[in-house]
Every structure is written in C-alpha cells, then in structure tokens.
A and B are shown apart, each in its own frame.
Chain A
C-alpha cells in the first residue's frame, strides 16, 4: 500500500470517530499547549528581568564590607567599617580596567518641605555615581567637585521624593528642603527609573555629596560601599580581580585570611538571576511535559480500545489482502496523525495562552521556534512510541480469529 492510501485510510478511520479522536487529541492539546505556554512565560520573564537589570548598567561593580565575625558571632554586613575613602582613591589611581568609581555613604532620615515630609534614603556619593548607575538628570545639574570638597549642603532628588514633597510634575530645583533638620538646596532632579527587577522603587532616594552625608548626616568616617564601572563589559572580570588585589593590599590582609569585603558585579547578578529563572522555566516545562506524557498514554489507551473494537475490521482487511505491515502502518499513522494534529492545535492554544498571560503579567511572552520544534518532535515520538504496541498487537492478529471475534 502506498503512503497516500495509508493516509486516506487513517483519515477515514479518524473521521468515522470524530468525537473520540477529538477527546484523545485533547490530552495532547493540553500537554503541548501547557509546554509552549510555560516555556514562553518562563522565557519571557527571564528576558524582562534581564532587560531591567542590564538597564542598571552591565559594567557595574559593587564593593560591600563583608560580614565580620567576632568569636563566631556575626555582626552583620552593615556594621562593618572596613571600607574607607582611601580605598576609593586607591582603586581610582591603580585599577586600569575601572572607568569610574564612587564611594557610597548611606543615611536614612526624614525630609521636610513646608508641611510635607517623607522618609527616604540619602546616598552620599561622588559626581561620578550618576554615570556608574546610568542615572540621568531631568532638570538642574549634578554637584561639582568643589561642592564635594566643601561639604556643600546640596542634593539631587529622585522622582518619588519629588512626588511626595511637591506633588506630581513639580520642578523643585532651587528650593531648599530640610534633611534631618539641616537645610539642603535642591540642585537637580533625577529622571524616572521605575521599579527594579526585584520590585524595589529606584526613585525613592536623595543623592548628596558623600562628604556632606559622611560628616553632617551620618557622622561616620567610613563608607558603606564602593560603586565602580568597568571600562567595558568584557573587562568586568579583570576589573574585579584588580579591585580585589588593591583592597587586599590596602587592607593588609594576609594570604591565609579571608577578604573583609565582598565584590559583586551586575553580570554576576545577571547570571544568578538567569540561572534561577532557567530553573523555573525547566521546572514549569517539566510539569507541562508530564501532562504531555499523560496525553500520550491516553493515545495508547484509545489505540488499544480501537484495536480491540475493530478486530473484525482488521480480520476483514487481512482477508482482502492487507498484510501485517499494512495493518501496523495503518494504526501507526492513525496514532501519529492524532498526536501531530493535537500538537498543532496545542501549539496554537499555547501561543494564545502565553499571549493572554503576557498581557496579564505585563511582559512579552517569548515563544521560541525551539519550543515549537521540540513540541512537534515530542508529539511525533509519542505518536510512534505509544502507537507502536497497539499497532503491533493488531498486525499480529490471525485473520481467522479476528474475523470470528465477537
């Protein structure tokens, strides 16, 4: 029997049992749709997190004091006073792969303007900080090195702080506000940056010269962290090694001792996040794959029922000249048609589900051609694998017994 006849016979058999064929396909449809949708949502969320993180600057390197232990008791990372401004100078002067570097001194406190007040974080930084964090000025200006040196009481506000103190859309440049009861002049406003990948408001902050924050607001002599940017993304790894070497030397850390600081880079963070979202994606995919397997077993089940129910038909086909392999092929083609057709419908459904979920979750789903090929391949394998045994059983029937079957 040639292939066209084989397909015609299989299609006729399926058309004869439309409802049953559809119900059998439903298992595959749901399986494939969930695989496609889950992979698309997983891939989409991974991509949107990556996009947001790289908008923060992929060259970014952060140095934080490491947790210190005294007799086994952790004092917490922020309690450390390991970093000094001299470290910033050392990095600036010595590290070749570093383009810009800024200290960061953190303070929290109440900010007052007129009868409005708000609680926010005040970051003491150098003028390079905006470049490093890819922050942009919407109006006004950045503080200059003179203002840094002279501990000027000037500040730059984030959008959320502006909204809280002055209302939406206001331009408060030139106005004086009180931070922790000290008067500061607003010299600039930052552009809106939105939420970070972790759901943190990146606009709820005030920037001021690190000297001002260190002496006047926090009254400390150490710094809380160092932000630096590598000259390029490729140089980011060597920049990290350079910073580590410099800091170990300036901190006089012996060979055997651990670092008293911690270096994090954006690309490293990106990798961590990617690996987490990848795990999530594969987990979702695996769960969906199980439903695909269940769908395949459904096909096998129905094919068995079909073979038993059509025993007399098989006997007849054999008596009019059907060979064992014709019968085998007929049932194989039937099960493959079922699963491939189910797969095609499933891909369409999966795509629609991914689209719907994407609009709900506010991120574009990414249906990769890879997942479509995968789904089709899996359907083909399911069709052959789960169709084989019932088909083999059918082809091994004796025509006499099959014709006599009641």
Chain B
C-alpha cells in the first residue's frame, strides 16, 4: 500500500465578488498516491487554477477536507501553512519566477533560507545537488538573464526539489517554452517521477498531458473525467526523433 499524498473530499470553493458569489469548485473528490504523475486539465474557468492554489496551500477551501501527507490543512493557521509549504511542497511556475540578478545557486537556495534548521553549508550543498539533478551544475553561477528559458525552468525545478518535498506542483510549466524545450522539461519531470517524486501539473495542452500517468479533467468546477493515460508518451524517445536544431547553421 502506497502512501496517500493528497486526499480531498467534497471540496468546494466560493468567491465573493461584491454581491455575486462565484462557485469556483463545486464538490471535488481526489486522491493522489505517492509516486503518481498527474496532469490536471481543463479549459479556462474550469476551476483548475483554483484547484492548484488549494493543492499548493495558497488558498483554503470553503467546504470540504484536504489532507496533504496526512495533515489536515483546515486546522492550520497562516504561519503553519507557510511552514507546511516550506517542508512538503515544491512549486514550479509558468514564468519561472526566479529572482533577477541572483545566481542560479542562490535562487535554488532560497527555500532553505526559510528553514531555520538548515545551516549555510548544508544549504549550499543541497542546492548544488539539486542543480546537478536537473543537469545545470555548470551553470551554477549564472544569472537568470544568462540562461535560456528551458534552463531557467530547470533552475526553478531545482528550487522546487531542494527542500525534498512530498509533492511538486507545476502550473503550466511548459507554457512559455517552445516544443522541443517543453519536451526536455517533461523528460526531466519523467526522470524525477521515475525516481519516486510525486508530481502534479496543470496544463491545457493535451499532448503535454500525455506524459503523465493519470489525467484529471476539470469542467465547471467539478472533475469531469479521470483516466489513466493509456498511450503514455516517453519524452526521451520523442526527443530522439526530433531533428536537432543546428545552431551553427545560423552562423554560416
């Protein structure tokens, strides 16, 4: 029996915008086990962003329970939730959200600054390891503006790994990237998943969703459909078939 990382029962989320009440989520039940690789899909307004905010403990449900790694989120106050995010979650964003004029290494170190138990030596060591895990050990001292989009997203993934979280949450991680780089990022995610990481990501591209083991499709604030991906794509295999862009051609 595998650990259950996420268990959600009868989850509702209402927003009050003036007089109007918007029902963003209308009763969601979801269970994600350790080692799963889940893609959340849906058109805009389907509630998938709200779902991700709640999964990331950035927002609280109006009704229903959310257990993250056996902790009931509803019982925690603001500071405890922040601490929980620091310990159990890793975030990857569409726009990378790296600190400008800050080296890759320092960006990756950032979450550990908020963990007072980690000393400066351990912090650096873990950041270096995380960068090695995403294949950017040689770009450690580069600033974000000296890195390509794909490399920046890798730094962001390293940052999400550095605190050894139980769950990595990615919000449209390939949204700002070209096809090839998108596949490279998915390759990295598949690698990490094979090593046991639980990953949940939001996407609206159905071909990107096919790299996951399971798809959850949202519609009108409810889960419309859940299915195990039957013809799962392997990013490494696809990358081999893609023509390698020869940069030297441009110089000629």
Spell out A's residues near B (CB within 8 Å). Answer: 1-2, 4-5, 8-9, 12, 16-17, 312-313, 315-326, 399-400, 403
Contacts and interface: CB of A to CB of B under 8 A. Distances in A.
A1 B114 contact: yes
A323 B99 contact: no
Interface stretch (B28-36, B63-71, B78-86, B127-135): B78-86
B59 interface: yes
28 contacts: A5-B116, A9-B113, A12-B106, A16-B99, A16-B100, A16-B101, A313-B97, A313-B99, A315-B97, A316-B91, A316-B110, A317-B110, A318-B58, A318-B82, A319-B91, A320-B114, A320-B163, A321-B82, A321-B83, A321-B86, A321-B111, A322-B86, A323-B79, A323-B82, A324-B78, A326-B82, A399-B58, A403-B97
A312 B83 contact: no
A400 B82 contact: no
A224 B53 CA distance: 96
A47 to B, nearest CB: 49
Contacts, number: 72
B100 A320 contact: no
Contacts of B85: 319-321
Nearest to B78: A324
B102 interface: yes
Contacts of A17: 101
**Among B56, B106, B110, B115: residue with most chain A CB under 10 A:** B110
A284 B7 CA distance: 69
Contacts of A400: 53, 58-59
A319 B113 contact: no
A234 to B, nearest CB: 63
A304 to B, nearest CB: 19
Given A5-B116, A316-B97, 10 more contacts: A1-B113, A5-B113, A16-B99, A16-B100, A319-B58, A320-B114, A321-B82, A322-B82, A323-B82, A324-B82
B214 interface: no
The 4 A-B residue pairs whose C-beta atoms are closest, nearest first, are: A321-B86, A321-B114, A320-B111, A16-B101
Contacts of B97: 312-313, 315-316, 403
B84 to A, nearest CB: 8
A320 B53 contact: no
Nearest to A8: B113
Contacts of A4: 120
Nearest to A399: B58
Contacts of B189: none
Nearest to B107: A316
A52 B124 CA distance: 65
Nearest to A313: B99
Nearest to B98: A316
**Among B102, B113, B120: residue with most chain A CB under 10 A:** B113
Given A12-B102, A324-B79, A319 B56 contact: yes
A5 B117 CA distance: 11
Nearest to B87: A321
Nearest to A325: B79
Contacts of A325: 79
B163 to A, nearest CB: 8
**Among A4, A317, A320, A323: residue with most chain B CB under 10 A:** A320
A148 B101 CA distance: 90
B93 interface: yes
Contacts of B159: 320
B6 to A, nearest CB: 17
Contacts of B101: 16-17
Contacts of A399: 58
A323 B113 CA distance: 12
Contact of B115 (A9, A12, A313, A321): A321
A316 B93 CA distance: 9
Contacts of A9: 113
Nearest to B52: A400
